[in-house]
Amino acid sequence: MDIKKEEILHIAKLASLKIKEEEIEEYRKNLQDILEFANIINSVDTEYLEETNGTSTNINFLREDEVNNFKDTDQLMKNAPEQENNMFKIPKVIN
């Protein structure tokens, strides 16, 4: 298995991360090492096994449709780096 530089850049883009040119090789190498180690899972025969997505066994954990508004909505805005008219301000979104 050989992970290419382009793949690292593609994955970084998906994750909204920028990797500096000089760091790419390090990330590439790390990812490759870990995936090589992780390939040990292929030694397990899973042909007849279902996936376990989580260990909670809850079924139909549901909430009644009853309004309970959050009281401190002001506090929700307080951490905003930039806001205007009680909205979060961001650079213009172009479709």
By CB under 8 A, name the binding residues for other proteins. 7-8, 11-12, 14-19, 27, 30-31, 33-35, 37-44, 46, 49-70, 72-73, 75-82, 84-93, 95
Minimum CB distance to other proteins, residue 28 (Å): 10
Minimum CB distance to other proteins, residue 48 (Å): 9
Q: Are 2 and 36 in contact (CB under 8 A)?
A: no
| CB neighbour list of residue 89: distance below 8 Å, 6 or more residues apart | 80, 82, 83
The whole-angstrom separation of Cα 92 and Cα 95 is: 10
Minimum CB distance to other proteins, residue 22 (Å): 13
Instruction: Give the residue with the Cβ less far from other proteins, 2 or 81.
Output: 81
Minimum CB distance to other proteins, residue 78 (Å): 7
Instruction: Give the number of residues written for the chain.
Output: 95
Q: Are 19 and 9 in contact (CB under 8 A)?
A: yes
